[in-house]
A and B are shown apart, each in its own frame.
Chain A
Amino acid sequence: MPRQLIKDGSVVDDRWTLVRELGADALSQAAIIVPLPVWRANRDALRARGDVGVWLAPSDDPADIAPDAATLPVIAVDFPQFTDGRGYSIGRLLRERHGFAGELRAIGDVQHDQLYYLAQCGFNAFSIRSDRNAEDALAGLTAFSDGYQSTTLRTPWFRRRAAAAAR
């Protein structure tokens, strides 16, 4: 199996198993990422394990996971199609409003040409679509060197420009 996960700028092995649908033994596996409804239904037991992450559908409200943001090792956000941009807002909310500092992973239709914007919205891990080469996709992370807006990685350019001018 080719490695499909980009994390913190490199292609790496993926220790997590994504549980899309709940089969009989799904929850007995180690290191799983479960859907939000499953997390909510089994929260205490799953939380105690320490090797369980949660994935959000684009229609899920990130505020629902806010109480667990400090302890969850990984939160994934699903992009059913790359043109569904709800996850970009979810990423920023998790980082900027709910204080999530763990691995924030984009899953689903995740490709080369979306990586730069995703990274600016707080994602540091990208599970590249299975028919795409993750090594090739790495270049997408550096499509731009900077930008005007405030993101999870930078303040607006006008602030940095003013600070540089004042020095």
Chain B
Amino acid sequence: MYRYDSFDQRLVDERVAQFRDQTQRYLAGQLTEDDFRPLRLQNGLYIQKYAPMLRISIPYGLLSTRQLRRLAHIGRRYDRGYGHFTTRQNLQFNWPKLEDVPDILAELASVQMHAIQTSGNCIRNITSDHFAGAAGDEVVDPRPYSELVRQWAALNPEFAYLPRKFKIAITAATTDRTALLVHDIGLQIVRNDQDEIGFRVIVGGGLGRTPMIGHVIREFLPRAEILNYLEAILRVYNRYGRRDNKFKARVKILVKDRSPAVFAREVEDEWSHLRGGPSTVPDEEIERLAAHFPAPAYETFAGDDPGYRSELADNRPFSNWAQRNVHPHKMAGYAIVTLSLKQTGVPPGDVTSDQMDAIADLADRYSFAELRVSHEQNLIFADVRQADLFTLWTELKALGVATPNLGLLTNIVCCPGGDFCSLANAKSIPIAQAIQRRFDDLDYLHDIGELDLNISGCMNACGHHHIGHIGILGVDKNGSEWYQVSIGGAQGDEAALGKVIGPSFAAHQMPDVISRLIDAYIDHRHDDERFVDTVRRIGLEPFKERVYATAAH
């Protein structure tokens, strides 16, 4: 992974010193709440319902075991012994003290981490494919490009006070695992007919209050021009994005209001001035960054591990887990393993400090001392020998992170919701837990098949409910908590926004509502048809009829 040199380290250290000074001036009354708020947000610090919340950046989801152990330590020392992985591949602590935050940032800096731009109206953490470098469907390893864009975005003087937050995702895979089409900018690394590497540039996607699918504004951008082009997009947005209404301030609104074609023309015009300028990236820089991501010391195997094959045949629970949570690797004899942070009874994405330490030990032993965070709030060991899978599985089970539910209904993506977040209209974690309890039968869960269920506690959509096959949105009705249900959303290459099925429900109705949706699906499905495919084929009506036939009480 990318390792800081003295230059990178100095910037992060200076950021810690800057924030320490800002915090001191705030506590001394020299900075007002209004003046301090944007500054602390750009360091990931929210003041939440019960306590501050600190969001730590995990660039493109990549973590070393040393870093994970430091996060475990921070959780223990400054919080309540756990952390929460987010849909932007970050980690949040929910109970730090404001006056401790500078010390926490210093602890992070000591392991080459920070909380820069994890909140606020600026360029947020760059997200990417959690299988990067290990998947077999990549044009090229995207990580050097993610790092290039991370450096450009970090502490960028021109774009610290944008109209609204700005999210960039990068993938180099032919199958999108990053929700590329619902980002402010989605960058797909491609290879053209001349065998040159470049970017397909997508702008104006996003979730939140006004969900939209992004538009391709350039089919092929030579890789050397990436920073010039990003600067052009951000400059057009910074100058012309709406600032009078925060609900209309995202770039997607600007793209829609001007039309994608007009927006693209403005960007191209701005780019024409910047093209070939100082930020043009030489091949040598990309090679330098690529050298930070060498292939691990893989052993050579002829094919699948025979021992793994026989365990698969003999052990049903193991094969269930392997079927769901193990993905093919580009190297023969290796596999990509997903640790499910979606065990029934545990808030989705939550991990205790003890679990973090134990997971770090396992990653040291089985996956070259690195791991990744996925935007579905799970953890990934990207480089595991097939021969180790059975042993690893038994160890993961003991830690409670081997629930074989990846891609299934109980792999719920869920924001912290009203239990923690001051923006939320409604709680989301108890809804997730009630649904997980209802669908706790593994055979039934596997029979239902692939299903993405996403829950957001408000329309800011941190739980990405619009792109869930089933999406649940917490809404406020006269001060009480209700839940609006949509179906037919999807992420990835088939990205689509779900449609609301009708009036919202009370919390206690939700497990029944989901059961009825599933019953309707099972009645109507064709062979091998996923829930979302059935919705697309037969439409909302049969599902509505089932759910609202008699009131679900």
Contacts and interface: CB of A to CB of B under 8 A. Distances in A.
Contact of A83 (B18, B151, B161): B161
Nearest to B277: A150
Interface string B135-157: 00000000000000001101111
B160 A150 contact: no
Contact of A162 (B15, B239, B282): B282
Nearest to B161: A85
Interface of A: 82-86, 88-90, 92, 97, 111, 113, 116-118, 120-121, 139, 143-151, 155-159, 161-162
Interface in B277-292: 277-279, 281-282, 284-285, 288
B158 A121 contact: yes
A35 to B, nearest CB: 19
A149 B231 CA distance: 10
B157 A162 contact: no
B159 interface: yes
Given A85-B121, A113-B35, 12 more contacts: A85-B161, A85-B162, A85-B238, A86-B238, A86-B239, A88-B161, A139-B21, A147-B11, A147-B157, A148-B152, A149-B157, A156-B278
26 contacts: A82-B35, A82-B161, A83-B38, A83-B121, A85-B238, A86-B238, A88-B159, A88-B161, A92-B158, A97-B273, A113-B39, A116-B157, A117-B158, A120-B157, A139-B21, A144-B14, A145-B10, A146-B7, A147-B11, A147-B155, A147-B157, A148-B155, A148-B156, A149-B157, A150-B278, A151-B157
Nearest to B7: A157
A146 B10 contact: yes
Contacts of A90: 239
B212 to A, nearest CB: 23
B509 interface: no
B235 A89 contact: yes
B355 interface: no
Interface string B311-336: 00000000000000000000000000
Contacts of B154: 148
B526 interface: no
B243 interface: yes
A145 B48 CA distance: 33
B357 to A, nearest CB: 33
Contacts of A121: 157-158
Contacts of A156: 227, 278-279
Contacts, number: 93
B235 A144 contact: no
Contacts of B235: 89
Contacts of B285: 158, 162
A144 B11 contact: yes
B22 interface: yes
B158 A89 contact: yes
A118 B285 CA distance: 27
A88 B7 CA distance: 25
Interface in B12-44: 14-15, 18, 21-22, 35, 38-39
A117 B160 contact: yes
Contacts of A86: 238-239, 243
A85 B160 contact: yes
B161 to A, nearest CB: 3
By DSSP majority rule, is chain B's interface helix, strand, loop, or mixed? Answer: helix
Contacts of A148: 11, 151-152, 154-156
A18 B312 CA distance: 78
A88 B121 contact: no
B161 A84 contact: yes
Q: Which of A88, A118, A157 has the most CB of B within 10 A?
A: A88
Contact of A84 (B15, B157, B243, B279): B243
Contacts of A85: 121, 158-162, 238
Nearest to B14: A144
Interface string B238-257: 11000100000000000000
A73 B35 CA distance: 32
Contacts of A118: 157
Nearest 10 A/B pairs, CB to CB = A85-B161, A120-B157, A117-B157, A150-B278, A148-B151, A158-B285, A150-B279, A88-B158, A155-B278, A143-B18
A162 B227 CA distance: 17
Nearest to B281: A158
B246 to A, nearest CB: 11
A116 B156 CA distance: 11
Given A147-B157, A156-B279, A162 B284 contact: yes
Contact of B156 (A83, A113, A139, A149): A149
A93 to B, nearest CB: 8
Contacts of A113: 22, 35, 39
Nearest to B5: A161
A139 B18 CA distance: 10
Contacts of B151: 148, 157
Contacts of B7: 146, 157, 161
Contacts of A159: 278
A155 B152 CA distance: 12
Nearest to B162: A85
Nearest to B155: A147
Nearest to A136: B30
Nearest to B32: A131
Contacts of A88: 157-161, 238
A85 B234 CA distance: 11
Interface in B152-188: 152, 154-162
Contacts of B157: 88, 116-118, 120-121, 147, 149, 151
Contacts of B277: 150
Contacts of B10: 145-146
Interface in B54-82: none
Nearest to A80: B243
A86 B239 CA distance: 5
B152 A149 contact: yes
A147 B158 CA distance: 12
Nearest to B160: A117
Contacts of A151: 157-158
Contacts of A162: 282, 284-285
A77 to B, nearest CB: 12
